[in-house]
Chain A
Amino acid sequence: MHIGDTPQEAAFRAEARAWLEAHASLRDPAAPAQEMDLATHVGHCRTWQATLAEHGWAGITWPAEFGGRGGSAIQSAIFGEEQARFDVATGAFAVGIGMVGPTLIAHGTPDQQERFLGPMLRGDHIWCQLFSEPGAGSDLASLGTRAERTDGGWIVNGQKVWTSLGQFADWGILLARTDPTVPKHAGITYFCLDIASSGIEIRPLTQITGVAHFNEVFLTDVFIPDENVIGSIGDGWSVARTTLLSERSFIGSGTGQWGVDDLIETARRLKRSDDPVVRQGLAAAVCRARTLDYLGLRLRTAMSQGRMPGPEMYVMKLAYAKHWAATADTAMAILGMSASLGDFSPTAASHHIEGDDRWPSMFLTQYAIRLGGGTDEVQRNIIGEQALGLPREPAADRGVPWKELALR
């Protein structure tokens, strides 16, 4: 056991820091509030992703044969920690680099890897996830979007929802039902969908912060060629598991800061850091943040040793969701009444992403982190089964053909 950088990791960190210093400017916590609309943010993400790729820092854990750096999960985390101190934008590539890439590397054909991984890495293609449906949330495998055979491919009809940044995406990963006569997990196929295809309508969903991060996506007679099926027909669920595991570990990953330094800075600036109740809130936040650090280290250790992470991944996501909510709560108490101010109206021309407004915004979006990538309840059920060895919940729909479920 060794907590802290090994000499090799320290050297990697120094190299990463030197490169970042040469190609980006440091974030200034004291800078005035920045206003940025989503489209501008996405543009910044594309530019930065291209810069990363140009200098060999994109896809740190991807094998070199796919254009990656061939590095370890720990190196990727180290780079993330260093990068977080700089004024750069990365969010729009979370789905592509973090989820689609690993899925294609594991399940794609050489042709698919060739076509998709390069443009993704270089920032040319933004990817979105077309999994959830209005009727299939926690019970994702009950999804009803249909893909039917046609000459040279498939015709897709259905509706998807909670598609992050769908309005900016070039490509999407799509789960659709190709065989309704078998039980729900068995009849699903995994596709890559060109968002420029005809028959796709994307409608942004505005959230309570006024931001339209998510979208509804309506698919009407959309053609997908055979060459864009990932894995085998009817085996989409096992392909999707790779994607979902990447999503959960991504949502639970992050940097060593966890918002705590900013929280303490906010308390100091508003002259609240002498208040004993506030101090307890700050101290509790530090305790949570250190726990997240160590949980993250253990997770990365498993990944860098080539072990599949166990239930600790689900603990990490739950702990992160709790930390997010409790930290925002403490920040709201520090801000006091002014926490009720801030323009979160759908008509707001732009959205503060820095400054004190971000705390109410974080408080208001805490539900998202508890829901996205599997709800708190789903994570706890998995912990019950995998960590404690409890029997699975009885399921009314196990082994029942999907089309009979739909009739119930």
Chain B
Amino acid sequence: MNFDLTEDQQVIADLAQQILAGSMDVDRLKAAERGSGWDPEVWSALAEANLVSLCLPETVGGSGMGAIELALVAEALGRNLAPVPLVPTVVTAMAVAEFAESGTHDELLAGVADGSVVLTSALASAGANDPLLPGVRATPTANGWRLEGSKPAVPYAAEAAAIAVPAQLPNGSSLVALVRTGTDGVGLAPEKTTNHQPAAGLTLDTEVSTADVLGTAGDEAAEVTRWLYEHTVAAMCSIQVGVAEGALAMTSSHVTDRQQFGRPLSAFQAVTQRAADAWITTEAMRVTSRNAAWRLGAGLDARRDVAVAAWWATDGGQKVVTACQHLHGGIGADIDYPVHRYFLWGVQNGTVLGAASAHLARLGGLLARS
């Protein structure tokens, strides 16, 4: 039993922090917000440092690491608010490596490893809160499957070479298909998101070959949908840990420097105690998300662990960024001051992951069935 990071894991965490803290600053963030919404240069820097390929197989240029190492990079990403497609790309690539027939997608994965290819997954559905019941329909054809339906807010969809789309079969089971963007019947409409990163609504009326179905269609493929969902949620939880941590660091320094009534704000107990509560919440988010990532990486059943981490990341994460925004007082309302970005990221992660109540309902369902 050891909750500490290994030496290698610590090196990965430090490297990610060093690269992201060294490259992300307010001017870069503003430039990304005014432009495409993301930062391809920082993405290249991460790829060059082998942090994108970290969790891919060595056969395609990766390092063969897993979910816990991805979690550490994701924490650094949230801490520095780096607008790059780490989670959608890496989790989708890991799913392709895990479930596609061996050797069939090596070129695509090698592109991911060297930073030239972005991938993503279409997990969210409007209104409905169960990502395991996808809204897209799949019907068999001579050489594969016909996909019909739509998905809102697919992160980095227009930047991605391919999108992993869970789809429902006529028999109620599901499959995950890798849809190539730019092919007939794959429509993308750009959408604005709360934290300004790119996203697009996806409409499908297209066909995919059997080779682009991850795993085999049927009950087993429903497991691929769950795998994709759980790995994505766990990694998003880790981003949220970094967001909370970064927001709190900025807040601690603000309440120490800002004077009112002849003393620093931090000398008021109402301020200090709210900040301390936010720190306790952040640490709860960290331990639960690392546990979930570790269990996923170890190939253990992590359904409850992911739900617990997700509840902390959504409910707790939003409480932390709200507290940090509040403790900044008026200055936080001005978008020239940087703290609001943590708030926007925290709110967006809280909704993209599914609201806190949805995770509680899911955990409740798991408990009731056991």
- Kindly state whether residue B33 has any CB partner on chain A within 8 Å: yes
- Kindly state whether residue B24 has any CB partner on chain A within 8 Å: no
| CB-CB nearest in chain A for B197 | A340
Beta-carbon contacts under 8 Å, B315-370 to A: 318, 322, 325-326, 329-336, 340, 343-344, 347-348, 350-352, 354-358, 360-361
- Kindly state whether residue B141 has any CB partner on chain A within 8 Å: no
Q: Is the CB–CB distance between B152 and A341 below 8 Å?
A: yes
| CB-CB nearest in chain A for B123 | A337
Shortest CB–CB separation between residue B353 and chain A, in angstroms?
A: 9
Q: Is the CB–CB distance between A277 and B361 below 8 Å?
A: yes
Beta-carbon contacts under 8 Å, A96-123 to B: none
Shortest CB–CB separation between residue A401 and chain B, in angstroms?
A: 13
**Chain A positions within 8 Å of B268 at CB level:** 377
Q: Is the CB–CB distance between B335 and A206 below 8 Å?
A: yes
Beta-carbon contacts under 8 Å, A197-234 to B: 205-208, 214
Q: Is the CB–CB distance between A138 and B260 below 8 Å?
A: yes
B331, B332, B348, B355: most-surrounded residue (chain A CB, <10 A): B355
Report the bound CA distance from A397 to B261 in whole Å: 6
A-B contact count (CB 8 A): 145
Q: Which of A205, A277, A341 contacts B192 (CB 8 A)?
A: A341
Q: Is the CB–CB distance between A137 and B194 below 8 Å?
A: no
What are the interface flags for A323-358 relative to B under an 8 Å C-beta threshold, 1 for contact and 0 otherwise? Answer: 001000100110111111111111110000000000
**Chain B positions within 8 Å of A329 at CB level:** 318
Report the bound CA distance from A339 to B351 in whole Å: 6
Report the bound CA distance from A137 to B352 in whole Å: 35
Asked, given contacts A336-B358, A397-B261, whether A343 binds B332 with beta carbons under 8 Å apart, the answer is no
Q: Which of A137, A341, A367 contacts B326 (CB 8 A)?
A: A367
- Kindly state whether residue A366 has any CB partner on chain B within 8 Å: yes
**Chain A positions within 8 Å of B196 at CB level:** 345
Q: Is the CB–CB distance between B261 and A336 below 8 Å?
A: no
Q: Is the CB–CB distance between A346 and B335 below 8 Å?
A: yes
**Chain B positions within 8 Å of A10 at CB level:** none
Beta-carbon contacts under 8 Å, B191-227 to A: 191-196, 199
Report the bound CA distance from A380 to B270 in whole Å: 10
- Kindly state whether residue A368 has any CB partner on chain B within 8 Å: yes
Q: Is the CB–CB distance between B355 and A161 below 8 Å?
A: no
What are the interface flags for B248-288 relative to A under an 8 Å C-beta threshold, 1 for contact and 0 otherwise? Answer: 00000000000111110000101100000000000000000
Q: Which of B126, B191, B194, B357 contacts A360 (CB 8 A)?
A: B194
- Kindly state whether residue A408 has any CB partner on chain B within 8 Å: yes
- Kindly state whether residue B153 has any CB partner on chain A within 8 Å: yes
Q: Is the CB–CB distance between A333 and B357 below 8 Å?
A: yes
Q: Which of B192, B336, B354, B357 contacts A337 (CB 8 A)?
A: B354
Shortest CB–CB separation between residue B222 and chain A, in angstroms?
A: 21
- Kindly state whether residue A142 has any CB partner on chain B within 8 Å: yes
Shortest CB–CB separation between residue B232 and chain A, in angstroms?
A: 12
Q: Which of A161, A333, A342 contacts B194 (CB 8 A)?
A: A342
Report the bound CA distance from A336 to B347 in whole Å: 12
Q: List 9 A-B contacts (CB under 8 A).
A: A139-B260, A207-B333, A207-B334, A207-B335, A270-B127, A336-B124, A340-B193, A344-B192, A364-B344
8 A-B pairs with least C-beta separation: A333-B355, A397-B262, A396-B262, A139-B260, A337-B124, A343-B192, A339-B351, A277-B357
